[in-house]
């Protein structure tokens, strides 16, 4: 059994006026954590994370895996959406991740990610950690580590990157990336918030991070949970909070939630 990970972090979105601050730190933090747990880690940061390069890296990660292997993909950056052209989306929209060159290449859509995930061999487990998008309002959780100021949503509206004559008329909708994950077996999604919310890009103790990434790692180190279910429970002690109104989510079977963390 081998363990491999791909960690993607994009702060720089040329030409969009929607740069972020904490995504590269997120990717580096996840990479360090996973390497310390025996994963062979690849990173893609800013200009490395073009549409073509992201597609190729995900495809290579999955193509090389065999039964019993564990794969982790982390993504920190903007999410966006486009009108659904294939008719497979009930809400009429395809959600997508925003590569560094989104202005030229467009988003990496959920349909494309679904096709990439579908190529995996049987018995390959995938954990997706998504710190992108979404807004809501709840009051709870500790904010002792949070720096003063206003966090920024990790959602890029289509008008920030799409030509004006191609803009859809529907209102913006955040990303919730679940396409391609199997509803049975060992697949898990840990995401920063509900699909009606935003994940926030902010700063802790003078260092930019995504709120989900920062508190997920804090919960992992402080609580030392044995299972993903226990990890998620520990994370919920921090989010949502007054200034960070986002509800982290865990999606996967009951059996998968009881797997040992990063085993």
**Catalytic site includes residue 133:** yes
Q: How many CB atoms lie within 10 A of CB 193?
A: 31
Cα separation, 36 vs 53, in Å, equals: 25
**Cis bond before residue 240 (omega within 30° of 0):** yes
Q: Which helix (H) or strand (E) holds 29?
A: helix 23-36
Cα distance between residue 22 and residue 30, in whole Å? 12
Query: Which residue has tokens 């720089």?
Result: 12
**Cβ 102 vs Cβ 16: under 8 Å:** yes
Question: What is residue 182's three-state secondary structure?
Answer: coil
Which residue among 7, 23, 51, 78 is the active-site one?
78
Give 114: exposed, middle or buried? Use CB within 10 Å, 0-12, 13-18, 19+.
middle
The structure tokens listed for 100 are 């560094």
DSSP letter (8 states) at residue 149: S
Rg of the chain taking only CA atoms, in angstroms: 17
Please tell me which residue in 23, 133, 134, 193 is annotated as part of the active site: 133
Q: Is 98 a catalytic residue?
A: no
Separation CA 144–CA 199 (nearest Å): 18
Spatial distance between the Cα atoms of 212 and 128, rounded to a whole number of angstroms: 13
Catalytic residues: 78, 133
């Amino acid at each position: 059994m081998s363990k491999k990970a791909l960690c993607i972090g994009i702060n720089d979105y040329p030409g969009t006026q929607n740069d972020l601050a904490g995504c590269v730190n997120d990717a580096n933090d996840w990479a360090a954590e996973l390497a310390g747990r025996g994963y062979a880690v690849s990173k893609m940061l800013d200009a490395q994370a073009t549409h073509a390069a992201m597609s190729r890296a995900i495809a290579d990660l999955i193509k090389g895996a065999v039964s019993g292997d564990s794969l982790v993909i982390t993504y920190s950056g903007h999410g966006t959406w486009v009108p659904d052209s294939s008719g497979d989306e009930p809400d009429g929209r395809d959600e997508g991740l925003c590569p560094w060159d989104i202005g030229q290449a467009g988003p990496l859509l959920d349909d494309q990610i679904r096709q990439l995930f579908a190529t995996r061999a049987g018995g390959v487990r995938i954990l997706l950690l998504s710190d992108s998008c979404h807004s809501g309002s709840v009051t709870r959780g500790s904010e002792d580590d949070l720096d003063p100021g206003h966090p920024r949503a990790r959602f890029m509206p289509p008008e920030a990157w799409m030509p004006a004559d191609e803009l859809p008329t529907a209102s913006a909708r955040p990303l919730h990336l679940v396409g391609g994950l199997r509803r049975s077996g060992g697949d898990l999604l840990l995401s920063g918030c509900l699909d009606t919310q935003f994940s926030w890009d902010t700063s802790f103790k003078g260092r930019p991070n995504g709120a989900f990434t920062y508190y997920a790692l804090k919960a992992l180190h402080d609580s030392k949970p044995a299972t993903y279910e226990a990890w998620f429970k520990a994370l919920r002690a921090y989010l949502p909070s007054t200034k960070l109104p986002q509800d982290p989510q865990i999606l996967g079977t009951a059996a998968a939630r009881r797997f040992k963390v990063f085993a």
